[in-house]
Amino acid sequence: MTTARTPIQELESRFERLSKIGDAAGILQWDMATNMPMGGGVARAGQLSVLKVLGHEILCDPALADFLDAAEADRGLDPWQQANLAGMGRRRARAVAVDADLVRRLSEAGSACELLWRAAKDKADFAMITPALTEVRDLVAERAVALGDALGLDPYDALLDGFEPGGRAAAIAPVFDDLALFLPGFTDDVLARQAAAGPPLDLPGPFAIDAQRKLCRSMMEVVGFDFTHGRLDESHHPFCGGVPEDIRITTRYSGDDFMPGLMGVLHETGHALYEQGLPVDWRHQPVGAARGMALHESQSLMIEMQACRSAEFIAFAAPRMREAFGASGPAWEVDNIHRHYTRVARGFIRVDADEVTYPMHVIMRFRLERAMLAGDLAVKELPGAWAEETRALLGLTPADDAEGCLQDIHWYDGAWGYFPTYTLGALAAAQLFAAATEARPGIADGLAAGDFTPLVGWLRENVHQKASLMSTDELMAEATGRPLTTEPFKVHLAARYLA
């Protein structure tokens, strides 16, 4: 005899199905970025659209509302079940606000625009993608208004909330304004200090791509990446995708400089460790997912910036770099390599930026996407506005669209409201790392020995295993003793670059 499921069990079953549909879409998106021939774009866009609509239909099923109401009345739910129920309600509220036809149109437009973006970027020609991006912007704006009306949010906040639950532009703008005032002068001080010390010795290339692949893989293993549940590939834009049991990391390599490829891999490995460390018991449930992109970025930036650019880790990595490229000489000594990895320079490319200037790249994108979404900036005017913001914040003028507004994939595939989480993540990374090293003094010695167990162990306990049990603010306060603030980030920069 089959026992009827309780409302919470019925909900868990439905959300498990929804999660697995999302998992399939994730693998298809990874394949689109790494292996799929250009001619497969139309077919793949259709496949992804169907999966997104299927997920949307699950969330919008009227029966789901009945099960949510019944589960809300259950007073026997434990804290994890209560948080899971809240996450389910949040997912449904966002879904029913947008009709399935808009979900389909935005999915198809984003997939098509992303494929066209690759060609436009290669040709540094924004004009060839302007109509496609305008269509995506219009559809994103339509979705933002629908979400905002349903959730009682400003349209931009409605998008931001999808990446960072509870994130609001009114709270972020003052933080970014503070950084915009602090960082230019701080950058001047760092550049003056570097100039007085003279440039580091050049690391002579070229660097064989196969050697870079092997080095990257070995460093991933050192950090703790599980290759029985993941892989490393190449794409136009580095990313971490797939599912917790099958993480797909990508990077890009240059024969002239191995550092961006390696640090891109270590950055994405931080994302992967978060996914691989989420609680297995709550897999496929909202409460078992990563909390939001600010925390996700904190995990990638902590591995890349706080840990892997530290003097301790470079001391461990330097001989392995020498071995990988068959190199020797003064340029390959630990101190010189560390100077390369902590070199500050104003540049055009966000993903290649150092941690001092990186927030400026995010701040300008935050301002520009808000202006485009509000209708204050036409898409065709983006290259000029981009150049103006770049001059104002970084003192540079892009030579072409490739090093300007075509460099990032986000807007072209429909991810608007995402960019602020990068710098929120940097602030959280500094704050979490400070708390971790205070709680476990052996972390620095571990990095020097290539042992990430103390650091990753603290993160597993205080971040990864918490998943979405609590809000970002609550998790930060519990893990560090205070809410998110800019102070630890500023302290970290001062200690690394001006001490």
- Cβ(356)–Cβ(186) below 8 Å: yes
Q: Is 268 part of the annotated catalytic residue set?
A: yes
The single residue of 268, 297, 304, 389 carrying the catalytic annotation is: 268
Contacts (Cβ under 8 Å, ≥6 apart) of 414: 106, 107, 109, 110, 113, 136, 139, 140
Which among 392, 414, 398 is positioned nearest to 48, based on CA atoms?
Answer: 414
- Cβ(143)–Cβ(89) below 8 Å: no
d(CA 357, CA 346) in angstroms, rounded, equals 6
Q: Report helix angle 453-462 to 472-480, nearest 10.
A: 130
d(CA 373, CA 136) in angstroms, rounded, equals 11
DSSP states of 102-149: HHHHHHHHHHHHHHHHHHHHHHT-GGGTHHHHHHHHHHHHHHHHHHHH
What are the tokens at 99?
């009709």
Length of the chain: 499
Run of H or E including 326: none
Beta strands in 252-334 (DSSP E): none
Distances (CA, A) of 242 to 37, 129, 247, 300, 427: 19, 28, 5, 16, 26
What are the tokens at 82?
């209560």
Exposed e or buried b for every residue in 276-288, given b needs 16+ CB within 10 A? bbbbeebebbbbb
125 residue type, one letter: D
Catalytic (active-site) positions: 268
